[in-house]
């Protein structure tokens, strides 16, 4: 009864890109986007957690833009591609900024 290669489970890395809690500065709302990497043992016990800030979406009453923390220019579409849940946030913000004409 030897241990086969299938029996051996190696530590695994669970990586997710998530949107943090919004920060409000005056009329400006900042949505941070971060990568959370969790290193787990084969028994699902957490060995390490790493939080890496990736970018942020800034929504102002008249415009919205994205800032990447790696120094490269980033479009709003690119940040939404990174974190899909930001699409709803953006649509909601655009909806509230829209002037309704009946």
Partner 1 sequence: MQFSYLAIFLFFIILLAVLLIAPFRLSLNIGKEGALIAGSIKLAWLGATLMKMEIPPQSAAEEIRSNKDRRAGNENEDGKKKGKNERKISADNEKTGITRPPSIQSMINAAPALANIMLDLLKSILFKKFSCSLCFGLDDPSQTAIISGYLWSAASVLGLFPGRIFIDPCFEGERLEGELAVEIEARLLWAAFAVIQALRVREIRLLLREMMGWA
Residues forming contacts to partner 1 in the complex (CB under 8 A) are 16, 18-21, 32, 34, 36, 38, 43-46, 48-49, 51
Name which of 13 and 51 has its Cβ closer to partner 1.
Answer: 51
Cα–Cα distance between 40 and 62 in angstroms, integer? 44
CB of 63 to partner 1, least distance (A): 25
CA distances in angstroms from 75 to 1, 2, 10, 44, 57, listed in the order given? 57, 54, 38, 37, 9
Name which of 48 and 97 has its Cβ closer to partner 1.
Answer: 48
Name which of 20 and 76 has its Cβ closer to partner 1.
Answer: 20
CB of 82 to partner 1, least distance (A): 14
Cα–Cα distance between 36 and 50 in angstroms, integer? 6
H or E stretch at 97: helix 86-97
CB of 51 to partner 1, least distance (A): 5
């Amino acid at each position: 009864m030897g241990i086969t290669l299938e029996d051996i489970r190696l530590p695994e890395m669970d990586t997710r890109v998530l949107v943090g809690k919004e920060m409000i500065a005056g009329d400006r709302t900042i949505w941070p986007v971060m990568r959370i990497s969790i290193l787990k043992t084969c028994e699902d016990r957490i060995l390490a957690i790493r939080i890496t800030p990736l970018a942020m979406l800034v929504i102002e009453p008249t415009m919205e833009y994205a800032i990447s923390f790696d120094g490269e220019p980033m479009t709003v579409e690119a940040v939404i591609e990174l974190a899909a849940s930001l699409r709803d946030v953006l649509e909601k913000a655009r909806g509230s900024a829209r002037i309704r004409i009946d």
